[in-house]
Structure 1
Amino acid sequence: MFASERREHLVRLAAELFAEKGYQATTVRNIADEAGILSGSLYHHFDSKESIVDEILSAFFDELTATNQAALERGGDPRTILAALVSNCFGTLVPHRAAIMVMQNDWNYLRQFDRFDYLTRSEEKAERMWMGQISKGQEIGLFRDDIDARLTYRMIRDTIWVAVRWFRPGGRLDAQGLADHYIKVLFDGIAVH
């Protein structure tokens, strides 16, 4: 196995342990044991456990930011763009499951370290993207003007990310099917009109 392949393998193993046990509860020894190597051998690939989780989270945020930016650049009305943002988020549930679990479980712990300042910056950027579309939709009469854009964004965000806890690939709906259902409920509600 090449060094880069070994490194990727270690990141995947660590990601699953972080998702299962939590970042703080997972030790370097746990990761090494899972990989079948000595703890010290892990330091041949990473300088710290923080480096591993940093790689996991930065890859997630980089990809999500890029796909969301692409949705904005494709344009369309606010409903179309919000639907694309929702689909992008649900599309990360499988490939970035561990990163989302770490975000949910260890966000407040990691935010205290300068190394993870990008977490807050990424979240603020996402909030501006979403709120901008919600506000624009309100201005043009597409969305109700009696809802708070920030609160609405946070409710949408939280209901999407919590799905990582119960969504299982291979179930009745794949990630896009789940996104489509969510979009239907988001825009059309559950009441018969």
Structure 2
Amino acid sequence: MGRSRTVAGVAGVRERILAAATELFAEQGYAATSVQQVVDRAGVTKGGLYHYFGAKEDLLIEMYRAVFGERLAALDRIVGQGRDPEWTLRAIIDDIVVGTAAMIKESAAVSRELAAMDNERTQRLQADWRRYQETVRGLIRDAQEAGVFAAVASPEIVSWSIFGVTNSLHTWYRPDGPKPAAAIAEELADLVLTGLRA
């Protein structure tokens, strides 16, 4: 299979390798993709791949860092502004929906495959995900205890109603679909916050 337009248009070797792996993992899964397929699509040698990545697993971990690292940094920026809980939760929902949609292929590859891997490196990544969840739940919990949000559901259920949509976004969202990501984010935030209003 020849290189796609996406991969052909990426200049750097490392970036071409990641773009090729992202497409292949999203199309056929991590386990079904060989290193040879990645190098063929990227138009590089195996030596070129191993210069940047020690193993195929490193490609998946790098994708996770690209997808989730941005979301975690954005979460910290949003929460760090110290604004009211409704504004903060709306901004978090907007960021996670719009950010995930912007990296939909990477999100598809990561969400399907990383959960099945269990080693020291992936456990560190999963610890970041737990920190993200706990930050969102802490925001909801604090607002409920202060009487700003209604305690109609636990912080865990509220957060999973958000994460359930965003973690499955790659299965149904289409960039050329009827609604842009920002509109989906707004609707989801409206739904969640309407239920939480005291």
- TM-score range (shorter-chain normalised) is 0.7 to 0.9
Tell me by how many angstroms 1:35 deviates.
2.0
Task: State the secondary structure of the residue aligned to 2:147.
Answer: coil
Report the equivalent of 1:149: 155
Task: Look up the equivalent residue of 2:179 and give its one-letter code.
Answer: L
Map 1:170-185 → 2, pairs under 5 A: 170-185=176-191
**1:40-119 map, 5 Å:** 40-110=47-117, 112-119=118-125
Structure 2 distance, partners of 1:54, 1:70, is: 23
Residue segments in structure 1 that go unaligned for 5+ positions in a row? none
- CA-to-partner distance for each residue in 1:3-41, whole Å, 9 max, x for gaps? x81111110111111112122221112212212344454
The alignment-based identity, stated in percent, is 26
Deviation at 1:188, TM superposition (A): 2.6
Deviation of 1:158 after TM superposition, in Å, equals 1.3
Q: How many pairs does the alignment contain? A: 186
- Structure 2 unmatched runs, 5+: 1-7
SS at match of 2:100: coil
Classify 1:12/1:173 alpha carbon distance in 2 versus 1 (closer, same or farther; 3 Å): same
Residue 131 (structure 1) aligns with: 137
**2:87 and 2:129 mapped to 1: Cα distance?**
21
SS at match of 2:173: coil
TM-score (norm. length: structure 1):
0.86
Is contact 1:14-1:31 (8 Å) kept? yes
Whether 1:23 aligns to 2:30 is: yes
Query: What secondary structure, in the 3-state scheme, does the structure 1 residue paired with 2:12 have?
Result: helix
Q: Tell me, yes or no, if the aligned pair for 1:19 and 1:97 is still in contact at 8 Å.
A: no
